[in-house]
Amino acid sequence: MSDATTTTTRLRDELRRRGQRVTPQRLAINAVVESLGRRHVTVDEVFALASDRVPGISLPTVYATLDLLEDVGLLRRVATEGGAAVFDTRTDAHHHVACRRCGAIVDIDATVDSAELLRAAESMGFIPDDTQVVVRGVCAVCAATPRAA
Ligand SMILES: [Zn+2]
Ligand SMILES: [Zn+2]
């Protein structure tokens, strides 16, 4: 896991390189993300935590900063169906299972040969930068729980 100093430095350097301001809000959101450890988080969760550190911070600021952190490579967006955007503090390539009932998202470490997918994407003129597989279905907990009538 990367330590806070490193990601803060990385964010500062990247913002300066882009000519964007290093704001207390951006640093606070990065600190929140850093404090989560390895997790999948929704924008609302980050917003709630960031509000504790920076009273009055706005939801659009949180959205924009999470996009920025994704762009910088400090976060990875998890492909989800509908619902809230989910960000992953784990940024190396890995895949997920997603439960349709409770919304749980869990990492899967399995090697996926995506060469054929990438070839197909590139043949469409697409420039791929991330490939992730989401296995959808019902998690063990939900499968063992009768559905409410
Ligand atoms: Zn579930
Ligand atoms: Zn993950």
Is the model more confident about 1 or about 53? 53
HSE-CB at 74 with a 13 A cutoff on CA atoms is 31
pLDDT score recorded for residue 137: 93
Cβ-contact 78, 101 below 8 angstroms: no
pTM of the predicted structure, to 2 decimals:
0.81
Question: What structural domains and CATH numbers belong to the chain?
Answer: 4-78 (1.10.10.10), 93-144 (3.30.1490.190)
**d(CA 54, ligand 2 centre) in Å:** 27
Per-residue pLDDT tens digits for 71-127? 999 999 987 766 678 999 998 889 999 998 888 899 998 988 889 999 999 999 999
Q: Is the pLDDT of residue 2 over 80?
A: no
**d(CA 37, ligand 1 centre) in Å:** 22
**d(CA 102, ligand 1 centre) in Å:** 4
Q: In what order do the strands lie in the sheet with 76-78?
A: 40-42, 86-88, 76-78
